[in-house]
Amino acid sequence: MKLKNRTGLFRVGVIFLIALSSLSFGVYLQRNHALLPLKRLLEHRPLRVSPPDRTILDWELARTEKLRVRYPLKDLSLHQLEQNHSLYGEKLRELLRLSKFPGDFSSEVELVETVELPHLVREKLKIEVEPNLWIPLYLFLPKSVEGPQPCILVVHGHSSGKIETAGLVSSYQQGNALRLAEAGFVTVAPDLRGFGELGWAGEWEDPLGHDFGRSIHIQHVMANLRTGRTALGTYLHDLQRILDYLVRRPEVDPERVGVTGTSMGGDIAIWLAILDPRIKAIAANAPGLLHYPKKHVEYGSFHVCIHTIPGIRNNFLFRELPLLVAPRPFFLDIYQRVPERPFVQETLERLYRESGHPEKLLVRSYPGQETFHNQPVIEWFKKWLS
């Protein structure tokens, strides 16, 4: 009798597992649209769908390319750009909604840990940029030098955040904050909102982390729009509060501050230099703003955080914004397939010739995808901040 009961239970278990597997397989096929060809065949419909002659994104792109912006920059002289720089800065702050952030907020700073490295001290700090919002960052201090030193803000791109720029994991950012510090600079590597400890604290290459981090990031972009802010505005606000703290450190020379970053970080480096005169030298690698306007096949990237700025396209062209960095030392390191590179390079070269210091501009292109090149950036900052 017991044997029969066990056999019956075994059969029920097998049937249950088969049913569960079938259901799971069916759900998988449905989610991946694997049954669509069969469905179309049974309905006597063509297996392939012809693309539309025109999509709404085609129409939007054509409209964007024909926009006449309020503040065209490409044909202006360096004198005109400098003369109107405060006007442009005021308008950009308005578009970024920076007035929505607390301007008189007194930031608190907490030291979390201190790690002794062979030639550096790495401090982990938290800085309060808004009530109860703390931004974590790494601060690298070279041991071999004394007195105020040049300082570099290192802004990460779409990634795991500061653990990549600090060299704690490998990535396309090549541990740039760590390498610049080893070259003798004070460097700071913060997390941006939606990344690292403020998003996904694990490694970006982990598929779960990538999907989870992307979700948090996009939600952050949308939440800012709902509250009348911009995601880019949050990054710039936080970096300026961090800079307020850095220039008070005895190890930092406030007259020798630079900024660098890759991809999204390259964009932010340019924006920060435009809005904050304390930035004396810039090295931007593969900034995404040189890709706009984009064709419809290129939409859907992470870069909505940088380019979702209500009203920006009626006032400025993204590709012209780097012109507002002139005449400060500017290293633009971009890969060859960037469509706007020739225009930007030629216009920048004209502006720096007008300044009488063409050597303060370096535009370099390289094959392949975005990756940070530490040695040229180190040489650039040594030339202009040492």
% pLDDT > 90, the chain: 59
Task: Give the model's pLDDT for residue 24.
Answer: 73
Q: Please state the three-class secondary structure of 306-375 as a single string.
A: HHCCCCHHHHCCHHHHHHHHCCCCEEEEEECCCCCHHHHHHHHHHHHHHHCCHHHEEEEEECCCCCCCHH
Q: Which residue has the higher pLDDT, 46 or 110?
A: 110
Predicted confidence band of residue 30 (pLDDT cuts 50, 70, 90): low
* Token reading at 304: 């909505």
* Token reading at 86: 């405060």
Strand partners, 330: 282, 361
Q: Residue 232 in 3-state DSSP?
A: helix
Return d(Cα 268, Cα 340) in angstroms, integer: 18
The residues spanned by each domain of the chain are 2-42, 71-385
Residue type, 122: R
CB atoms within 10 A of CB 333: 24
For the domain spanning 71-385, the CATH number is 3.40.50.1820
Q: Residue 212 in 3-state DSSP?
A: helix
Task: Give the model's pLDDT for residue 299.
Answer: 47
Task: Give the model's pLDDT for residue 215.
Answer: 83
CA distances from 211 to 161, 203, 264, 382 (A): 15, 11, 18, 39
Q: Model confidence over 185-225: pLDDT tens digits? A: 999 999 999 999 998 777 777 777 777 777 888 889 889 99
Return d(Cα 156, Cα 266) in angstroms, integer: 8
Return d(Cα 361, Cα 332) in angstroms, integer: 8
Q: Which residue has the higher pLDDT, 3 or 10?
A: 10
The answer to whether residues 151 and 252 touch, using CB atoms and an 8 Å cutoff, is: yes
- The DSSP symbol for 250 reads T
Q: Model confidence over 140-199: pLDDT tens digits? A: 999 987 889 999 999 999 888 999 999 999 999 999 999 999 999 999 999 999 999 998
User: Looking at 156-302, which runs of residues are DSSP E strands?
Assistant: 186-190, 252-262, 281-285
The answer to whether residues 163 and 198 touch, using CB atoms and an 8 Å cutoff, is: no
Phi, psi of 102 (to 5 degrees): -65, 115
Overall size of the chain counted in residues? 386
Q: How open is the CA angle 109-112-113, to the nearest 5 degrees?
A: 135
Predicted confidence band of residue 48 (pLDDT cuts 50, 70, 90): confident
* Token reading at 106: 């007194």
Task: Give the model's pLDDT for residue 154.
Answer: 98
Q: Model confidence over 343-377: pLDDT tens digits? A: 888 999 999 999 999 999 999 988 877 789 999 99
Q: Is the pLDDT of residue 8 over 70?
A: no
User: Does 293 sit behind a cis peptide bond, omega within 30 degrees of 0 on the bond before it?
Assistant: yes
Predicted confidence band of residue 313 (pLDDT cuts 50, 70, 90): confident
Q: Is the pLDDT of residue 57 over 90?
A: no
Return d(Cα 73, Cα 348) in angstroms, integer: 11
Task: Give the model's pLDDT for residue 244.
Answer: 95
How does DSSP assign 47-109, residue by residue?
Answer: SS-PPPS--HHHHHHHHHHT---SS--TT--HHHHHHTHHHHHHHHHHHHTGGGS-TT----E
Q: Which one, of 276, 258, 266, lies nearest residue 98 by Cα?
A: 276
How does DSSP assign 17-48, residue by residue?
Answer: HHHHHHHHHHHHHHHTTTTHHHHHHHTT--SS
Q: How open is the CA angle 197-199-205, to the nearest 5 degrees?
A: 95
Task: Tell the burial category of 127 from Cβ atoms under 10 Å away from its Cβ (0-12, 13-18, 19+).
Answer: buried
Instruction: Flag the least confident range among 47-51, 230-234, 308-312, 325-329.
Output: 47-51
% pLDDT > 70, the chain: 88
Task: Give the model's pLDDT for residue 192.
Answer: 96
Write down the mean pLDDT value for the chain: 87
Task: Give the model's pLDDT for residue 294.
Answer: 58
Q: Model confidence over 117-132: pLDDT tens digits? A: 999 999 999 999 999 9
Return d(Cα 336, Cα 114) in angstroms, integer: 41
